[in-house]
Amino acid sequence: MQHTQWYKDAVFYQIWPRSFCDGNGDGIGDLWGVLTKLDYIASLGVTGIWFSPLYPSPQADFGYDIANYYDINPEYGDLDLFRQVLDGAHKRGLRVIMDLVVNHTSDECDWFKQSRSSRDNAFADWYIWRDGKTPGAPEDGGTPPNNWDSLFEGGAWEYEPARNQWYLHIFAKKQPDLNMDNPQVRSEVERIMRFWLDIGVDGFREDVITFISKDPALPDDSPLIPAARGMKFYNHGPHVHEYLQQFRHNVLDHYDCMTVGEAPVISPEQALEYCAEGPNQELNMVFTFEHMGADCMFTDWVPRPFDLRAYKQAVGAWQTGLAAHAWNSLYLENHDHPRIISRYGSEQYRVESGKSLACSYLFLRGTPFVYQGQEIGMTNTHLESVEESADVSTFNQVRRLRELGVPESVCLDLTNRATRDHARTPMQWDAGPSAGFVGGDGGGIPWYPVNPNHVDINVAAADRDPDSLLAFYRKAIELRRKLPVVREGSYREFKRASNALYAYAREGAGQRLLVVCSFTEEIAYFSAPAGFDLAAGELCLCGYPDAPLEDNAFFLRPYECRVYLWNDES
């Protein structure tokens, strides 16, 4: 199979199905809704869709707890409807990638039901089972095999009476970890991949894929490490590269597809071990977290202000660290983080800061991902109480805070800062009562409350406004896709010490691109670097209607951004 590296020219739109569009009126987003919005997605200029999990699931972690890998959640539709969506996407030039979640399953998966029933059945070794350090049930003094923490729900081990053993769950109790050391499990992963690729999907986003190989000794970790005890023994584990190369050579190499792996706590140097191009490449790219102000998706709860210098340092390290050997992924929002305007931008200057944020990443080297609602500038919602949250991760974080004696008011403040619910409020299509989210007969109530600001922030209003953030995203994505320098050019940063401006150049393929973004509501001054004559360049994008210049310099208004282009003579 010839691989075309089509993903290097792609821009993906991430759909979190439960909150994108409800097409049958029951209050839950579904594939009927997606089908009605394919023209809208294509209108953004994106070339692909990433679906967060669509599979049957008890929804303990909203689809990341899979009960059946070979079907569609009945709440979302069925396989025939999925094929309609897939065909409709392909007819519009949109590739489709699926979430592949194989570090763990749901505890309601048939594999686990059988595995937990006894120690001598066909699935007995499909999960990670161990005897306790101290024998017996917890109520009889039995203790877990080690002191690892779950990232979602207390300790990482749960006792099963039928086996008189404990199973490992790095995430929630209802998400038992698969035993990837078992060749039968790896064969099943290959079968899952082939099933969806044969249906016609174009690749996978592989959930926490760097977690799939555990240190077989399962040793205790330092008792002083908070919240993530044990991670060094299961992240980048002893056989992770062997297993990923198996999946690559046995399955992925036989399809013109792409893979992007979620990789918490990883450096550019480590990333090259996964995605350096060549015969042993395992993934096409990885999702990293440093530019989000954290090493992984679970540390948004550490209260710290946005630091532009840290953001630029993280972005620059990946742009330069992978430049010669591998490809980057680019994103600002996804289902695991609060809304970026509320975190890194300004709700007061929502449109302006949204434009500056867009420019800060859309012209970098790599494949951009745009999360649903990001293109219209959706912001964080507000919870009146912790109990309004629907997120298992939030419940765990608040439990930890309460155990430490943190006052309830502080728990609520931190929840409103960090909960993943912010990214999961229903998509805001119009100013109507359900934000246009509920379709069909309109009788359903959205599964989660819509953000009250939908009366002002919605697709319909943005579509009518030529200066809207939505219009800007369309222009920026169109510009990115037509410029060879974005794929092929080098990366050079200016004003590294500034905590107000992010300025960088992309140079190559006979073109030069200069991107200047303000991250402050104060007036900021920018003087063009040597060799960049702004008057001779083409102003391709600006966050404001006009763009005055003076002596090859300009003053940036609050959160202003500009993109200049030069086509150099050969």
Q: What is the pLDDT of residues 277-309, one digit of tens each?
A: 999 999 999 999 999 986 555 557 777 789 999
Q: Quick check: helix, strand or coil at residue 462? A: helix
Task: Give me the residue spans of the domains in the chain.
Answer: 6-102+183-381+428-469, 110-168, 384-418, 490-567
Q: Quick check: helix, strand or coil at residue 416? A: helix
Q: What sign has the CA pseudo-torsion 411, 412, 418, 420?
A: positive
| Region of residue 278 (left: phi > 0; alpha: psi -120 to 50; beta: else) | left
Token pair of 150, please?
């779950």
126 touches 167 (CB < 8 A)? no
Q: Which CATH number describes the domain made up of 490-567?
A: 2.60.40.1180
32 touches 23 (CB < 8 A)? yes
Query: How far is 63 from 53, CA to CA, in rounded Å?
Result: 5
What's residue 570's pLDDT? 45
- Is residue 408 among the annotated active site residues? no
Which of 262, 336, 391, 421 does the annotation list as catalytic?
262
**pLDDT per position as a tens digit, 464-507:** 999 999 999 999 999 999 999 999 999 999 999 999 999 999 99
What's residue 232's pLDDT? 95
Closest by CA to 21, choosing from 434, 310, 438, 411, is: 438
Residue type, 515: V
Determine the Cα angle at 101 with ends 99 and 104, to 5°: 165
- Is residue 493 among the annotated active site residues? no
Which of 99, 149, 206, 207 does the annotation list as catalytic?
207
Residue 127's DSSP bridge partners are 178
The verdict on pTM exceeding 0.75 is yes
What's residue 225's pLDDT? 79
Q: Which residues of the chain have pLDDT under 50?
A: 570
Determine the Cα angle at 335 with ends 331 and 339, to 5°: 70
Angle between helices 79-91 and 183-199 (to 10 degrees): 60
Query: What is the CATH T-level fold of the domain 110-168, as seen in this structure?
Result: Oligo-1,6-glucosidase; domain 2 (3.90.400)
Long-range CB contacts (< 8 A, 24+ apart) of 191-194? 192/69, 192/70, 192/100, 192/102, 193/100, 193/247, 193/251, 193/252, 194/251
Q: Does domain 6-102+183-381+428-469 have CATH number 1.20.1050.10?
A: no
Query: How far is 393 from 313, CA to CA, in rounded Å?
Result: 28
